[in-house]
Amino acid sequence: QKEVEQDPGPLSVPEGAIVSLNCTYSNSAFQYFMWYRQYSRKGPELLMYTYSSGNKEDGRFTAQVDKSSKYISLFIRDSQPSDSATYLCAMSATNAGKSTFGDGTTLTVKP
């Protein structure tokens, strides 16, 4: 079993929809949680970085961490065609070490 499991997708939504992307994990030592966005044939870019449980909001994006359930989510409000990409979750036990990545969820937002 993988340490990090990500909803596989693909996911296709109409423009303006609310999107929910999710990951579960098994390692209770994880404390740092990241979401990356990767456009086709490009390197991933960091979207959100969260420490421990709780919510973090940045514009149309909200990251949610529930450590008791070992579950993290990324919500995208008012989705746009430019949000079409693969989204990767990542986690780390320390703030100075390597991260473990999920396999990614590919999102398509249709105009």
Contacts with another protein by CB under 8 A lie at 6, 32, 34, 36, 41-46, 49, 88, 90, 92, 94-99, 101-104
Q: Nearest distance from residue 2's CB to another protein, in Å?
A: 9
Each residue of 15-28: b (16+ CB within 10 Å) or e?
A: eebebebbbbbeee
Q: Nearest distance from residue 104's CB to another protein, in Å?
A: 5
Residue 25 · residue 83 · CB < 8 Å: no
- Nearer of residues 31 and 62 to another protein, judged by Cβ: 31
Q: How far apart are CA 38 and CA 41, in angstroms?
A: 8
Q: Nearest distance from residue 100's CB to another protein, in Å?
A: 8
- Nearer of residues 74 and 102 to another protein, judged by Cβ: 102
Q: How far apart are CA 27 and CA 10, in angstroms?
A: 25
